[in-house]
A and B are shown apart, each in its own frame.
Chain A
Protein backbone atom coordinates (compact mmCIF):
# COMPACT_ATOMS: atom_id res chain seq x y z
CA UNK A 1 0.00 0.00 0.00
CA UNK A 2 1.75 3.11 -1.30
CA UNK A 3 0.90 5.81 1.23
CA UNK A 4 3.27 8.38 -0.25
CA UNK A 5 3.29 8.97 -3.98
CA UNK A 6 5.57 10.91 -6.27
CA UNK A 7 3.89 10.72 -9.63
CA UNK A 8 6.65 12.31 -11.68
CA UNK A 9 9.55 9.88 -12.09
CA UNK A 10 11.76 12.53 -13.68
CA UNK A 11 12.17 16.26 -14.12
CA UNK A 12 14.53 18.15 -16.40
CA UNK A 13 15.18 21.84 -15.73
CA UNK A 14 17.55 24.45 -17.01
CA UNK A 15 20.20 25.82 -14.68
CA UNK A 16 18.95 28.92 -12.89
CA UNK A 17 15.27 28.06 -13.29
CA UNK A 18 12.90 26.72 -10.65
CA UNK A 19 12.47 22.99 -9.96
CA UNK A 20 9.12 21.95 -8.52
CA UNK A 21 8.74 18.45 -7.15
CA UNK A 22 5.37 17.15 -6.02
CA UNK A 23 4.31 14.57 -3.48
CA UNK A 24 0.90 13.26 -2.37
CA UNK A 25 0.02 11.16 0.64
CA UNK A 26 -3.02 9.20 1.68
CA UNK A 27 -2.57 8.56 5.40
CA UNK A 28 -4.14 11.36 7.43
CA UNK A 29 -2.11 10.24 10.47
CA UNK A 30 1.06 11.59 8.89
CA UNK A 31 2.12 14.73 10.68
CA UNK A 32 5.72 15.24 9.66
CA UNK A 33 7.19 15.35 6.17
CA UNK A 34 10.75 15.18 4.93
CA UNK A 35 12.61 15.51 1.66
CA UNK A 36 15.76 13.55 0.97
CA UNK A 37 18.30 13.86 -1.81
CA UNK A 38 20.20 10.85 -3.10
CA UNK A 39 23.25 10.69 -5.33
CA UNK A 40 24.26 7.40 -7.01
CA UNK A 41 26.16 5.04 -4.70
CA UNK A 42 25.32 7.15 -1.66
CA UNK A 43 22.63 6.93 0.97
CA UNK A 44 19.77 9.43 1.10
CA UNK A 45 20.67 12.75 2.71
CA UNK A 46 18.13 14.81 4.62
CA UNK A 47 17.27 18.07 2.86
CA UNK A 48 14.33 19.82 4.50
CA UNK A 49 11.26 19.00 6.57
CA UNK A 50 7.90 20.44 7.52
CA UNK A 51 5.49 19.83 10.33
CA UNK A 52 1.77 19.65 9.68
CA UNK A 53 1.23 22.77 11.81
CA UNK A 54 3.02 24.80 9.14
CA UNK A 55 2.30 25.36 5.47
CA UNK A 56 5.76 26.52 4.42
CA UNK A 57 9.36 26.02 5.44
CA UNK A 58 12.39 27.60 3.80
CA UNK A 59 16.06 26.76 3.92
CA UNK A 60 18.18 28.70 1.49
CA UNK A 61 17.28 27.72 -2.06
CA UNK A 62 14.86 25.04 -0.85
CA UNK A 63 11.25 25.66 0.15
CA UNK A 64 8.68 23.04 1.06
CA UNK A 65 4.96 23.80 0.88
CA UNK A 66 2.31 21.71 2.60
CA UNK A 67 -1.40 21.66 1.76
CA UNK A 68 -2.79 19.43 4.46
CA UNK A 69 -6.39 19.51 3.23
CA UNK A 70 -5.24 18.26 -0.18
CA UNK A 71 -2.67 15.89 1.35
CA UNK A 72 -0.10 17.40 -0.98
CA UNK A 73 3.35 18.84 -0.57
CA UNK A 74 5.88 20.27 -2.95
CA UNK A 75 9.56 21.10 -2.92
CA UNK A 76 10.77 24.19 -4.76
CA UNK A 77 14.43 24.64 -5.64
CA UNK A 78 15.34 28.15 -6.75
CA UNK A 79 17.61 28.64 -8.57
CA UNK A 80 18.42 25.14 -9.73
CA UNK A 81 22.12 24.30 -9.95
CA UNK A 82 23.96 21.41 -11.67
CA UNK A 83 24.81 19.94 -8.26
CA UNK A 84 21.08 19.55 -7.60
CA UNK A 85 20.93 16.73 -10.15
CA UNK A 86 19.94 13.76 -8.01
CA UNK A 87 16.99 11.62 -6.96
CA UNK A 88 14.65 13.35 -4.52
CA UNK A 89 12.49 11.36 -2.15
CA UNK A 90 9.49 12.59 -0.24
CA UNK A 91 8.91 10.84 3.10
CA UNK A 92 6.31 11.03 5.84
CA UNK A 93 5.98 9.98 9.45
CA UNK A 94 3.39 10.17 12.21
CA UNK A 95 5.54 12.36 14.44
CA UNK A 96 8.94 14.00 14.41
CA UNK A 97 10.86 11.23 16.20
CA UNK A 98 9.20 8.37 14.37
CA UNK A 99 11.80 6.55 12.31
CA UNK A 100 9.24 4.41 10.49
CA UNK A 101 9.35 6.63 7.44
CA UNK A 102 7.11 6.03 4.44
CA UNK A 103 8.87 7.04 1.23
CA UNK A 104 7.66 7.92 -2.22
CA UNK A 105 9.28 6.32 -5.27
CA UNK A 106 11.45 9.35 -5.96
CA UNK A 107 11.85 11.94 -8.70
CA UNK A 108 15.07 12.13 -10.69
CA UNK A 109 16.03 15.74 -11.28
CA UNK A 110 18.41 16.66 -14.08
CA UNK A 111 19.66 20.24 -14.20
CA UNK A 112 20.81 21.21 -17.70
CA UNK A 113 23.58 23.75 -18.15
Chain B
Protein backbone atom coordinates (compact mmCIF):
# COMPACT_ATOMS: atom_id res chain seq x y z
CA UNK B 1 0.00 0.00 0.00
CA UNK B 2 1.64 3.23 -1.19
CA UNK B 3 -0.23 5.44 1.24
CA UNK B 4 -0.99 9.00 0.22
CA UNK B 5 1.20 10.20 -2.62
CA UNK B 6 1.63 13.80 -3.73
CA UNK B 7 3.31 15.19 -6.80
CA UNK B 8 5.46 16.98 -7.49
CA UNK B 9 7.62 17.02 -4.36
CA UNK B 10 8.97 20.48 -5.03
CA UNK B 11 8.35 23.17 -7.58
CA UNK B 12 9.19 26.78 -8.21
CA UNK B 13 6.77 29.17 -9.89
CA UNK B 14 6.80 32.83 -10.78
CA UNK B 15 4.40 35.33 -9.27
CA UNK B 16 1.23 35.54 -11.36
CA UNK B 17 1.51 32.02 -12.74
CA UNK B 18 -0.86 29.14 -12.10
CA UNK B 19 0.01 25.82 -10.45
CA UNK B 20 -1.59 22.39 -10.15
CA UNK B 21 -0.72 20.00 -7.36
CA UNK B 22 -1.79 16.37 -7.33
CA UNK B 23 -2.78 13.87 -4.66
CA UNK B 24 -3.51 10.16 -4.83
CA UNK B 25 -5.31 8.93 -1.73
CA UNK B 26 -4.51 5.82 0.22
CA UNK B 27 -6.15 2.70 -1.18
CA UNK B 28 -9.73 2.42 0.05
CA UNK B 29 -10.08 6.12 0.86
CA UNK B 30 -12.61 8.29 -0.93
CA UNK B 31 -12.19 11.71 0.71
CA UNK B 32 -9.35 14.18 0.19
CA UNK B 33 -8.55 17.27 2.25
CA UNK B 34 -5.96 19.90 1.37
CA UNK B 35 -3.93 21.98 3.80
CA UNK B 36 -1.44 24.82 3.42
CA UNK B 37 1.47 24.98 5.85
CA UNK B 38 3.40 28.23 5.71
CA UNK B 39 6.85 28.39 7.23
CA UNK B 40 6.72 28.37 11.01
CA UNK B 41 2.97 27.76 11.11
CA UNK B 42 0.68 24.81 11.43
CA UNK B 43 -1.31 23.42 8.52
CA UNK B 44 -4.39 25.45 7.54
CA UNK B 45 -7.43 23.74 6.04
CA UNK B 46 -8.12 24.75 2.44
CA UNK B 47 -10.97 22.44 1.40
CA UNK B 48 -12.23 18.88 1.32
CA UNK B 49 -13.52 16.83 -1.61
CA UNK B 50 -15.87 13.87 -1.53
CA UNK B 51 -17.88 12.39 -4.40
CA UNK B 52 -16.14 14.85 -6.72
CA UNK B 53 -17.61 17.83 -4.91
CA UNK B 54 -16.17 20.41 -2.53
CA UNK B 55 -17.76 19.66 0.83
CA UNK B 56 -16.07 22.06 3.22
CA UNK B 57 -13.89 25.10 2.65
CA UNK B 58 -11.55 27.05 4.86
CA UNK B 59 -10.78 30.75 4.70
CA UNK B 60 -8.99 30.80 1.35
CA UNK B 61 -9.71 33.02 -1.66
CA UNK B 62 -11.29 31.76 -4.87
CA UNK B 63 -7.82 31.63 -6.46
CA UNK B 64 -7.63 28.27 -4.70
CA UNK B 65 -9.74 25.66 -6.42
CA UNK B 66 -9.80 21.91 -6.60
CA UNK B 67 -11.08 18.88 -8.33
CA UNK B 68 -11.67 15.26 -7.49
CA UNK B 69 -11.68 12.54 -10.10
CA UNK B 70 -13.78 9.36 -10.20
CA UNK B 71 -10.77 7.37 -8.96
CA UNK B 72 -10.77 9.67 -5.86
CA UNK B 73 -7.48 11.37 -6.74
CA UNK B 74 -7.51 15.13 -6.40
CA UNK B 75 -5.92 18.28 -7.74
CA UNK B 76 -5.35 21.62 -6.07
CA UNK B 77 -5.13 24.60 -8.41
CA UNK B 78 -3.86 28.01 -7.42
CA UNK B 79 -4.22 30.90 -9.87
CA UNK B 80 -2.43 34.25 -9.95
CA UNK B 81 0.25 33.09 -7.57
CA UNK B 82 1.44 35.46 -4.87
CA UNK B 83 4.70 35.35 -2.95
CA UNK B 84 2.62 34.51 0.12
CA UNK B 85 1.42 31.30 -1.49
CA UNK B 86 4.88 29.82 -0.87
CA UNK B 87 4.25 26.95 1.49
CA UNK B 88 4.12 23.21 1.98
CA UNK B 89 0.83 21.88 0.62
CA UNK B 90 -0.41 18.75 2.34
CA UNK B 91 -3.04 16.34 1.21
CA UNK B 92 -4.86 14.04 3.64
CA UNK B 93 -7.06 11.14 2.65
CA UNK B 94 -9.74 9.36 4.60
CA UNK B 95 -12.93 7.39 4.29
CA UNK B 96 -16.12 9.39 4.42
CA UNK B 97 -17.68 9.14 7.86
CA UNK B 98 -14.59 7.69 9.51
CA UNK B 99 -13.14 9.45 12.52
CA UNK B 100 -10.52 12.04 11.67
CA UNK B 101 -7.83 10.11 13.51
CA UNK B 102 -7.92 7.71 10.55
CA UNK B 103 -6.82 10.37 8.07
CA UNK B 104 -3.41 9.86 6.47
CA UNK B 105 -1.25 12.72 5.24
CA UNK B 106 1.02 12.74 2.26
CA UNK B 107 4.58 14.08 2.44
CA UNK B 108 3.51 17.34 0.85
CA UNK B 109 4.47 19.51 -2.11
CA UNK B 110 6.83 22.37 -1.38
CA UNK B 111 5.80 25.34 -3.52
CA UNK B 112 8.11 28.33 -3.85
CA UNK B 113 6.82 31.45 -5.58
CA UNK B 114 9.50 33.86 -6.76
| Partner among B40, B48, B90 whose Cβ is within 8 Å of the Cβ of A100 | B48
Do A97 and B98 form a contact, CB below 8 Å, given A43-B105, A103-B44, A105-B40?
yes
The smallest C-beta distance from B7 to any residue of chain A, in angstroms, reads 14
Secondary structure type dominating chain A contacts:
loop
Interface pair A96/B41, CB less than 8 Å apart: no
Interface size counted on chain B using CB atoms at 8 A:
28
* Total count of chain A residues near the partner, CB < 8 A: 26
Q: Within the assembled complex, what's the spacing in Å between the Cα atoms of A107 and B90?
A: 18
Specify which chain A residues have a CB less than 8 angstroms from the CB of B94 in the assembled complex. Answer: 99
- Per the bound structure, the CA–CA distance linking A22 and B34 in Å amounts to 26
Residues of B within 8 A of A (CB): 4, 31, 33, 35, 40-45, 48, 56, 58, 90, 92, 94, 97-108
Q: Residues of A at under 8 Å CB distance from B?
A: 4, 6, 9, 32, 34, 41-46, 49, 89, 91, 93, 96-106
